[in-house]
Every structure is written in structure tokens, then in C-alpha cells.
Amino acid sequence: MKFFVDTADVAEIKALAETGLLDGVTTNPSLVAKSGRNFIELIKEIAAIVPGPVSAEVGATDFDAMMAEGLYLSTLAKNIAVKVPLTPAGLRVCKNLSARGTMVNVTLCFSAAQAIVAAKAGAAFISPFVGRLDDVGHNGMALIQEICTIYKAYPAFTTEVLVASVRHPQHVVEAATMGAHVATCPPAIIRQLFNHPLTDKGLAQFVADWEKSGQKILAA
């Protein structure tokens, strides 16, 4: 499974990239607005930090404007994935951009039917929002299972399932179990994947015992 970080905070992206475990970045208009940065400059900077896909979302909603924005965004760096909404116009943009060799991330997916048409449109990534489905009483992870099952049945579909709106580490574990290709998480969730109280407790005991032994691996 690939890990993308869902943020527009450059400091967070750099810190996570240094772990060697970060495969890409997703952004959206809300995250960019929160950063207070110029969108184009921000995307260029992020794309230079992370060699994997960096999702940059169009701001328009009609086909012509989205297409123009998508074409421009695709020129900012070779690893840009143009992000479009799962609407008829968005899927049309996806079809056109993907035919040109541009990665497209189709976002705001809430049903398996939507995932099917996104794959038909040539999306590189489909982004089902599991947390938002959970919020309204639906089972977000059940949707991931359904999409993964459908995509596996059709080898011609090359679209990767990018699990979005991740709220806790268990979402990541369940998505990996189902065979989802990518999980995009806020920085705090990625850090939670590293942590376990028994790891901390065990390490503290090992360190204490090593200090008592008086030994050193390397001479001072």
C-alpha cells in the first residue's frame, strides 16, 4: 500500500518525506486556503519535495474552465495529478486529460457506481471518502471493499483506489486488508501508524537494561 499525506503544510510534508515512507501528496481547496499560500507556488514546491503523485485540484466546475485549469496544472511538474470532482463535466475532463497522458485523481466518490464510471473515464486514482460516509451513518469501508472487488474483476481497469477522508489508523489497516492501493491521511494519522504503547514500554526497558550493562557498541 502507498501512503499519501493529505495536507498543504510544507513543513509536515518535508518531515514525513524524510521517513522514506511517503509516496505522494493530496491537497484540496480547503487545505490550500488553510495554508494561506499562493496555490501555484505551493504546488510547485510540494512537487519538488515529493517525487510521487501530487494532487492539485481544479477550482472551476464547468468543462471548458476545468479543462483549461487542468491543462495548466499538468505543466507545473511531471508528477502532478490533476484532481477533478466526480461530476459529468469532471469525468469528461478526466477522459480528455488521461488521453493526453496526464494523471487524474477523481475525487468526492461516494458510491461504487461512481467508481466504475471514473475507471471507464481513465482515472489514475479514484478517491472514495470513507470518513464522510461514516459521518452520515453509512459504512465507508464497505464501499472500499465493493470498489476493490469490482476493479479486480476487470483487469482493464488501471485506476487505483485512493482511500480518502481517513479518520484513524484502523481505516488504513482495513483498506490494506481489502487491497486498496493508496491511503491518503492527515499527518497526525500517519504518525499514529508508527506508535504503540507496548513499543514505547519495551524500548524503555531495553534502554534501561542496556545502560545497566555498561557496554557500548561503538567506542567513544
- Residues acting as catalytic residues: 83
Distance CA 56, CA 166 (A): 19
Distance CA 205, CA 164 (A): 37
3-state helix, strand, coil in the chain (%, to 5): 50, 20, 30
Distance CA 111, CA 141 (A): 11
Q: What is the DSSP letter of 23?
A: -
Dihedral sign for Cα 1, 181, 56, 131, please.
Answer: negative
